């Protein structure tokens, strides 16, 4: 693994590379354990490199020390301008003396894709060759300046005895046992891709708005052809949307997507050759749920949108990762909102933001959206960089308005096409078009932690004054926080329920600031932080009646939902802390939302959902209470039963009314199914699972099959159905992931670890496949009361499996170790058990740099 002493890289140390690259030619002779990679690269001194002395005569200089990254490569030969050279091995690569003038580098290396279990660089998955180069995987393919600010055009020849040979760009030549590809667009090495295998394609075509015809393909393993149509449509919709919304057209003759079973992340935006985790592209009604369809649509869009935000314009260095990721997430969110429902999408976004990013921002792994240092960049593909990064774009747009936002984007694309740039470059375009200084706004990129926004109200003589105070708690390495620019979208609702002041964006820039609304007849109720206009925690004095009032009358769907959520949380917290009975304000309010058929069923489902156990644990900590996971679990279960009782007269009708006809994975169908299945969850607590069992038998789609099974499992039933499910789907990897995951997710707290352990012995379990590993252990860590069971069994089990996985796949191990990030929330016994496991992981010989960094940071809490 990574034996070199871990080195910290700092943003402030950025220096351009000494050379630029004119062109790259690569030849791959594929072999499972001995692939040969030949490279021919034309380098020229970089005029922008500070220390590069002006080129005088080549004789005058001794040459320059020329460094290339390389890891796990066997060097066969190297030459400069045709003369053989012997490079020195140095940490992370090789070094050689090179001319301070243009020269040609040629090298040949040997690599072993079959034994590459880290799934980084060139590796094999089910007999297929594929690559993953972001962030720093290209250095496992050949010696190269593997950094995003070195952009070059690539010509790639792939030789191998396989029917399909793909790389980036346009096809140039194809013959017996070889294919040549040329990518005319300069790109950094992290966007390189190669795929070779026995694959079949689902073809498509798209004509761009300027009339260029583009060939589209989704490449899959034989047998999966029937699961590509939805992804293909999502791709075409994305291409059209980017033209309509951002004026961005596709720029090659061909766009290929490949589905791979073994993949560390969701998907990768390699130029013209996107590689997808098969779970993020393959879809059929029999095997995929509505949630899968929605996610697939969003990820296809995300990767496609990277073509402009990431590929044509890329990041100068990895500290700028949010430049491409925050922006591209924002773009895919807007796309999904346009395709489905903005209101529902926004609530879902906030749910994940709070569950993942707020959690991260509140613990030992907190870091700025643009970090200032890292040990292993793969550890920074985080909720903060992605989701908070997207929130920043949304705030920027809110502050400058839609028109200036679009103009700023146009200017950015025009000015920086073909460049590797920074957040400063991005913001400069908006400063220019909007004529405003964004210096304070920029703090969103550098200041970690979630701002707390306290609000108080004053009513006097027809004037409502809202006073806000912002504070951000300290985060690792940042004790002092400055006030940020916070757009607070606010509206006012009159006592009769009518909106008296429509949404206005209050722009807060000070630590404490007041805003007044004058000339009001009667005291209105303020609806604050509409559409979740900033990633902050709003704290306001508000009673349950006012919440119920806003839940009934607010015109802003996010705030309407938020009020129901606040009622639910308040109810649960007092059940946990004071053992009180649930408030009727909450139960009645939910009942009227459910019965209101003018509301979108998807919205009603979201309103019926209870805060997660993890969310409740954090709320208890915020209230100064040490969370007891079992108590949280019990209270939530109790409330589910009470809800079922309170709603029992409306449940059967809701179940019936929301039946859908033929399965269509659109917003309307999925909304109805989600409501129907949420209702089924409650019904199953009352009818011994009769309705759910009947649906399970009848279901002709995975949404209802998995949904009815989950309703049963959540009611402590479903053993027969689980068995039947396995028998039916044992040959379908992706569906079997659901089978593994569901049981662990719904296991009782005292059974979860035992079950996960048993499943890890199942013949179909393997830690070579990240999806399968996550299905079992991701589900275990998401089962809050199970993971934190007082026995500590789950902590031990997870640590055992992380230690074993680290030797194979550091990236996934490091990611999964994040499950421990909240450890200091809990009581002393649990903390001691977790600390012991973290220390045991850290003491593992040859632990990867990835996991070492993560565990060290977590332990430093
Ligand atoms: N850029 C991809 C995500 C990605 C990042 C790293 C990977 O391997 C370490 C793989 C994919 C995206 O945003 O979709
Ligand atoms: Zn991305």
Residue range 508-535: mean pLDDT, rounded: 98
> In this structure, what token pair is assigned to residue 555?
């015109």
Count of CB atoms within 10 A of residue 247's CB?
A: 13
User: pLDDT tens-digit profile of 247-286?
Assistant: 999 999 999 999 999 999 999 999 999 999 999 999 999 9
- Asked whether 636 and 613 are in contact (CB, 8 A), the reply is yes
Nearest Cα residue to 65 out of 40, 42, 88, 38? 88
- Listed in sequence order, the DSSP H helices in 379-441 are 383, 389-400, 402-416, 423-434
Q: How far apart are CA 493 and CA 504, in angstroms?
A: 13
Nearest Cα residue to 575 out of 628, 538, 516? 628
Residue range 588-615: mean pLDDT, rounded: 97
Residue range 297-304: mean pLDDT, rounded: 99
Q: What pLDDT, on a 0 to 100 scale, did the predictor assign at position 4? A: 53
Q: How far apart are CA 426 and CA 320, in angstroms?
A: 10
Distance of CA 281 to the CA centre of its chain: 15
Distance of CA 41 to the CA centre of its chain: 35
Residue 290 to residues 352, 484, 666, 700, Cα–Cα distance (Å) = 17, 38, 8, 13
| Residue 135, preceding peptide bond in cis (omega within 30° of 0) | yes
268 Cβ below 6 A of ligand 1: yes
What does pLDDT average to over the chain? 97
Predicted confidence (pLDDT) at residue 63 exceeds the cutoff of 80: no
Would you call 89 a catalytic residue per the annotation?
no
Residue nearest to atom 3 of ligand 1 (CA): 268
447 Cβ below 6 A of ligand 1: no
Residue range 74-98: mean pLDDT, rounded: 98
Please give the sequence-ordered ranges of beta strands (E in DSSP) within 789-828, or none if there are none: none
- Tokens 């994305």 belong to 238
Residue nearest to atom 5 of ligand 1 (CA): 134
> In this structure, what token pair is assigned to residue 247?
């004026």
How far, in Å, from the CA of 413 to the mean position of ligand 1? 22
Give the sign of the dihedral formed by CA 292, CA 296, CA 302, CA 305.
Answer: negative
Contacts of 31 (CB under 8 A, 6+ apart): none
User: pLDDT tens-digit profile of 444-459?
Assistant: 999 999 999 999 999 9
Residue nearest to atom 11 of ligand 1 (CA): 268
Predicted confidence (pLDDT) at residue 854 exceeds the cutoff of 60: yes
Q: How far apart are CA 131 and CA 151, in angstroms?
A: 19
How far, in Å, from the CA of 132 to the mean position of ligand 1? 8
377 Cβ below 6 A of ligand 1: no
Atom of ligand 1 nearest to the CA of 135: 9
Predicted confidence (pLDDT) at residue 602 exceeds the cutoff of 60: yes
Q: What pLDDT, on a 0 to 100 scale, did the predictor assign at position 53? A: 47
378 Cβ below 6 A of ligand 1: yes
Q: What pLDDT, on a 0 to 100 scale, did the predictor assign at position 449? A: 98
Q: Which three-class secondary structure state does DSSP give residue 569?
A: helix
- Tokens 């200017």 belong to 411
Residue nearest to atom 8 of ligand 1 (CA): 134
- Secondary element (H or E) of residue 159: strand 152-159
Predicted confidence (pLDDT) at residue 51 exceeds the cutoff of 80: no
DSSP per position, 56-99 = --GGGS--EEEEEE-SS-EEEEEEETTEE--PEEETTEEEEEE-
Q: What pLDDT, on a 0 to 100 scale, did the predictor assign at position 62? A: 60
Confidence label for 64 from pLDDT (cuts 50, 70 and 90): confident
How far, in Å, from the CA of 325 to the mean position of ligand 2? 5
Q: How far apart are CA 141 and CA 126, in angstroms?
A: 20
Q: How far apart are CA 347 and CA 342, in angstroms?
A: 9
132 Cβ below 6 A of ligand 1: yes
DSSP per position, 129-143 = EEEE-TTTTGGGTS-
Residue range 210-234: mean pLDDT, rounded: 98
User: pLDDT tens-digit profile of 127-136?
Assistant: 999 999 999 9
Q: What pLDDT, on a 0 to 100 scale, did the predictor assign at position 60? A: 44
How far, in Å, from the CA of 268 to the mean position of ligand 1? 5
Residue range 57-66: mean pLDDT, rounded: 64
Percent of the chain with pLDDT over 90: 97
| Residue 39, preceding peptide bond in cis (omega within 30° of 0) | no
Distance of CA 500 to the CA centre of its chain: 39
Task: Give the mutation target among 295, 311, 381 for probing the ligand 1 site: most ligand atoms within 8 A of CB.
Answer: 381
Atom of ligand 1 nearest to the CA of 811: 9
User: pLDDT tens-digit profile of 761-804?
Assistant: 999 999 999 999 999 999 999 999 999 999 999 999 999 999 99
Q: How far apart are CA 549 and CA 600, in angstroms?
A: 19
> In this structure, what token pair is assigned to residue 689?
């699972």
Predicted confidence (pLDDT) at residue 54 exceeds the cutoff of 80: no
Q: Which ligand is nearest to the CA of 331?
A: 2
Looking at the DSSP bridge assignments, the partners of residue 74 are: 110
Residue nearest to atom 9 of ligand 1 (CA): 134
**Which one of the listed residues 25, 303, 376, 837 is annotated catalytic?**
303
For helices 402-416 and 389-400, give the axis angle rounded to 10 degrees.
120
- Asked whether 708 and 695 are in contact (CB, 8 A), the reply is yes
How far, in Å, from the CA of 272 to the mean position of ligand 1? 15
- Tokens 């030849």 belong to 27
Residue 156 to residues 23, 94, 177, 728, Cα–Cα distance (Å) = 11, 23, 14, 43
Task: Give the mutation target among 121, 140, 260, 267 for probing the ligand 1 site: most ligand atoms within 8 A of CB.
Answer: 267
Q: How far apart are CA 510 and CA 346, in angstroms?
A: 27
- Secondary element (H or E) of residue 154: strand 152-159
Confidence label for 5 from pLDDT (cuts 50, 70 and 90): low
pTM of the model: 0.98
Residues bordering ligand 2, an ion, CB closer than 5 Å: 325, 328
683 Cβ below 6 A of ligand 1: no
Residue range 693-702: mean pLDDT, rounded: 98
Confidence label for 187 from pLDDT (cuts 50, 70 and 90): very high
Q: How far apart are CA 115 and CA 446, in angstroms?
A: 40
Predicted confidence (pLDDT) at residue 363 exceeds the cutoff of 50: yes
Distance of CA 610 to the CA centre of its chain: 23
Q: How far apart are CA 532 and CA 489, in angstroms?
A: 8
Q: How far apart are CA 804 and CA 812, in angstroms?
A: 12
Percent of the chain with pLDDT over 70: 98
381 Cβ below 6 A of ligand 1: yes
How far, in Å, from the CA of 200 to the mean position of ligand 1? 24
Residue range 48-62: mean pLDDT, rounded: 57
Nearest Cα residue to 350 out of 101, 536, 159? 536
Residue nearest to atom 7 of ligand 1 (CA): 134
Q: How far apart are CA 821 and CA 192, in angstroms?
A: 33
Task: Give the mutation target among 125, 187, 193, 268 for probing the ligand 1 site: most ligand atoms within 8 A of CB.
Answer: 268
Q: How far apart are CA 15 and CA 668, in angstroms?
A: 52
Predicted confidence (pLDDT) at residue 614 exceeds the cutoff of 80: yes
Count of CB atoms within 10 A of residue 844's CB?
A: 17
Q: Which ligand is nearest to the CA of 299?
A: 1
How far, in Å, from the CA of 377 to the mean position of ligand 2? 14
- Tokens 């707390």 belong to 452
Residue 24 to residues 28, 36, 135, 254, Cα–Cα distance (Å) = 13, 16, 19, 20
> In this structure, what token pair is assigned to residue 534?
């900033």
Residue range 402-410: mean pLDDT, rounded: 98
Q: Which three-class secondary structure state does DSSP give residue 174?
A: strand
How far, in Å, from the CA of 71 to the mean position of ligand 2? 25
Atom of ligand 1 nearest to the CA of 328: 13
Residue nearest to atom 1 of ligand 1 (CA): 268
- Secondary element (H or E) of residue 601: helix 601-608
Predicted confidence (pLDDT) at residue 468 exceeds the cutoff of 90: yes
Residue range 4-12: mean pLDDT, rounded: 87
How far, in Å, from the CA of 815 to the mean position of ligand 1? 13
Q: How far apart are CA 322 and CA 442, in angstroms?
A: 13
Distance of CA 263 to the CA centre of its chain: 14
């Amino acid at each position: 693994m990574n034996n070199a002493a871990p080195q910290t890289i700092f943003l402030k140390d950025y220096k351009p590379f000494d050379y630029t690259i004119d062109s790259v030619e690569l030849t791959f002779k594929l072999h499972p354990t001995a692939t040969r990679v030949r490279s021919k690269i034309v380098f020229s001194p970089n005029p922008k490199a500070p220390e590069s002395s002006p080129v005088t005569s080549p004789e005058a200089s001794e040459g320059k020390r020329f460094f290339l990254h390389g890891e796990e490569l066997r060097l066969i030969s190297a030459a400069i301008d045709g003369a053989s050279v012997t490079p020195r091995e140095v940490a992370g690569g090789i070094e050689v003396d090179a001319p301070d003038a243009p020269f040609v580098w040629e090298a040949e290396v040997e690599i072993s894709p079959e034994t590459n279990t880290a799934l980084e660089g060139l590796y094999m998955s089910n007999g297929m060759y594929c690559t993953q180069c972001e962030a720093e995987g290209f250095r496992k393919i050949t010696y190269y300046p593997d950094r995003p600010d070195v952009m070059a055009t690539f010509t790639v020849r792939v030789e191998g005895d396989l029917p399909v040979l793909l790389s980036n760009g346009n096809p140039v030549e194809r013959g017996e046992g070889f294919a040549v590809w040329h990518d005319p667009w300069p790109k950094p090495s992290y966007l390189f891709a190669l795929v070779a295998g026995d694959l079949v394609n689902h073809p498509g075509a798209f004509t761009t708005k300027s009339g260029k015809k583009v060939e589209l393909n989704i490449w899959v393993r034989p047998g999966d052809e029937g699961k590509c149509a939805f992804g293909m449509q999502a791709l075409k919709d994305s291409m059209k949307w980017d033209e309509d919304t951002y004026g961005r057209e596709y720029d090659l003759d061909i766009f290929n997507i490949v589905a791979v079973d073994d993949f560390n992340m969701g998907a990768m935006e390699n130029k013209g050759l996107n590689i997808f985790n098969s779970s993020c592209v393959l879809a059929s009604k029999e095997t995929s749920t509505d949630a899968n369809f929605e996610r697939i649509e969003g990820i296809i869009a995300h990767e496609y949108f990277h073509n402009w935000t990431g590929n044509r314009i890329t990041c100068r260095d990895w500290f700028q990762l949010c430049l491409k990721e925050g922006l591209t997430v924002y773009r895919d969110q807007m796309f999904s909102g346009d395709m489905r429902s903005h209101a529902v999408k926004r609530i879902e976004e906030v749910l994940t933001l709070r569950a993942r990013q707020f959690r991260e921002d509140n613990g030992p792994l907190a870091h700025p959206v643009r970090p200032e240092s890292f040990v292993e960049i793969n550890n920074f593909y985080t909720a903060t960089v992605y989701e908070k990064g997207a929130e920043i774009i949304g705030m920027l747009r809110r502050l400058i308005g839609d028109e200036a936002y679009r103009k700023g984007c146009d200017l950015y694309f025009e000015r920086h096409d073909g460049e590797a740039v920074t957040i400063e470059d991005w913001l400069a375009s908006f400063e220019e078009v909007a004529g405003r200084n964004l210096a304070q706004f920029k703090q969103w990129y550098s200041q970690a932690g979630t701002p707390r926004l306290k609000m108080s109200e004053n009513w006097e003589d027809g004037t409502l004054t809202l006073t806000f105070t912002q504070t951000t708690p300290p985060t690792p390495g940042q004790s002092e926080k400055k006030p940020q620019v916070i757009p607070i979208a606010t509206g006012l609702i009159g006592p009769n329920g009518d909106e008296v002041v429509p949404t206005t964006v209050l722009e807060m820039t000070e630590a404490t600031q007041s805003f007044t609304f004058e000339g009001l007849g009667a005291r209105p109720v303020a609806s604050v932080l509409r559409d979740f206009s900033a990633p902050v925690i709003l704290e306001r004095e508000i009673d349950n009646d006012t919440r119920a009032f806003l839940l009934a009358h607010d015109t802003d769907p996010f705030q309407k939902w938020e009020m129901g959520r606040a009622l639910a949380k308040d109810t649960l917290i007092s059940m946990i802390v004071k053992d009180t009975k649930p408030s009727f304000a909450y139960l009645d309010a939910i009942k009227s939302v459910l019965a209101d058929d003018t509301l979108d069923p998807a919205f009603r489902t979201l309103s019926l959902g209870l805060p997660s156990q993890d969310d409740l644990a954090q709320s208890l900590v915020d209230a100064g209470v040490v969370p007891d996971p079992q108590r949280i679990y019990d209270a939530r279960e109790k409330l589910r039963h009470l809800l079922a009782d309170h709603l029992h007269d409306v449940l059967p009708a809701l179940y019936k009314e929301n039946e859908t006809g033929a399965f269509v994975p659109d917003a309307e169908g999925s909304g109805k199914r989600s409501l129907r299945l949420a209702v089924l969850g409650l019904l199953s607590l009352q009818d011994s699972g009769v309705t759910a069992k009947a649906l399970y038998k009848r279901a002709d789609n995975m949404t209802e099959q998995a949904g009815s099974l989950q309703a049963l499992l959540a009611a402590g039933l479903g053993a027969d159905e689980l068995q039947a499910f396995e028998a039916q789907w044992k040959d379908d990897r992706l569906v079997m992931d659901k089978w593994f995951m569901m049981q662990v997710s719904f296991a009782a707290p005292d059974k979860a670890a035992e079950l996960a352990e048993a499943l890890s012995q199942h013949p179909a379990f393997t830690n070579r496949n990240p999806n399968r590993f996550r299905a079992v252990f991701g589900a275990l860590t998401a089962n809050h009361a199970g993971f934190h069971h007082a026995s500590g069994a789950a902590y031990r089990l997870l640590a055992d499996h992380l230690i074993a996985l680290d030797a194979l796949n550091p990236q996934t191990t490091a990611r999964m170790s994040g499950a421990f990030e909240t450890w200091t929330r809990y009581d002393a016994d649990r903390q001691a058990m977790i600390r012991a496991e973290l220390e045991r992981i850290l003491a593992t010989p040859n632990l990867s740099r990835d996991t070492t960094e993560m565990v060290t940071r977590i332990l430093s809490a």
